[in-house]
Structure 1
């Protein structure tokens, strides 16, 4: 008798749980799709630079390709990419680099100075207080790259370790 009752409860509960799981996954898919759609053009944002100035999407230069890199100063991949940019910066003409992190401004500043990128034109070091941009853009790891063309349309989106050269060579505007 108890087995029979347990089977009836299981027969009712399992389909309800499966339907709930399917609905949950579908809603997450829609949310992710919505965030990706929002990335097609440079979104509105407001960040603080290591110099204490405000940096927004209005500061992006239309005549340049933009590479937004969300990073963490302690990330080994991010360090390797900064080292690569430092060594090859002069080869990447007409590119505006925006490095963004949610770590304290002092850590971001030290990172920029360490790789001698703090005084380079067209490289901006920004603080994303409370990781609002990170969340807004649906990022899920560091480093995270968004590459926009001269018209602020998304060219490439990628996360994880990747050579900057590989990102830049995927479009003609970089060199």
Structure 2
């Protein structure tokens, strides 16, 4: 009886370890696919299902959520410094329903920069939480900020 329990327990442990290994490989695969997609603006926009006016113009792509306190702070800072962003293409995307995202952005007078994306593609491509900021020059990723970032840091990358 003890031998059967030991065999069953051993099989359960092997099964659990196999499942954990498979899950880890899947996550690493998803992360490498995501990294490849975000490396250039064209592949990002194609993957997320939207078009940009000019892929050669320096671009700031921000992934946000209206419930995120860091996102709220960043949008407030952008609104206060919007004149510093005039030479750049500013794209703001969220997985939230369009009306919620636009209502949020209207508070900061940034609704015109909203881009509607496929929410499933966005959440599978943007590994990690919000906010995330991507800075592109000549269509290539120059800098990726995860989490809250000061406006000065964004502008420093672009100058």
- Give the TM-score range, shorter chain: 0.7 to 0.9
Q: How many residues are aligned here?
A: 155
- Do the aligned residues in 2 keep the contact of 1:66 with 1:98 (CA within 8 Å)? yes
Aligned to 1:132: 120
> Is it true that 1:68 corresponds to 2:61 in the alignment?
yes
**CA separation of 1:148 and 1:16: change in aligned 2, threshold 3 A:** same
Q: Which whole-Å CA distance do the structure 1 matches of 2:8 and 2:97 have between them?
A: 53
In structure 2, stretches of 5+ residues that fail to align are none
* Worse-superposed segment, 69-78 or 9-18: 9-18
Q: Find the counterpart in structure 2 of residue 146 from structure 1.
A: 134
Q: Does the alignment pair 1:81 with 2:74?
A: yes
- Report runs of 4+ in structure 1 exceeding 6 Å deviation: none
CA RMSD, Structure 1 to Structure 2 (Å): 2.3
TM-score, normalisation: structure 2: 0.81
Other-structure match for 1:28: 27
1:56-81 deviation per Cα after TM superposition (whole angstroms, max 9, x unaligned): 13x2341x211111112232211111
Q: CA deviation at 1:25?
A: 0.8
The normalised TM-score by structure 1 is 0.75
Q: 1:117 to 1:9 in 2, by over 3 A?
A: closer
Whose helix fraction is larger, Structure 1's or Structure 2's? 2
User: 1:21 aligns to what SS in structure 2?
Assistant: helix
The equivalent of 1:159 in structure 2 is 146
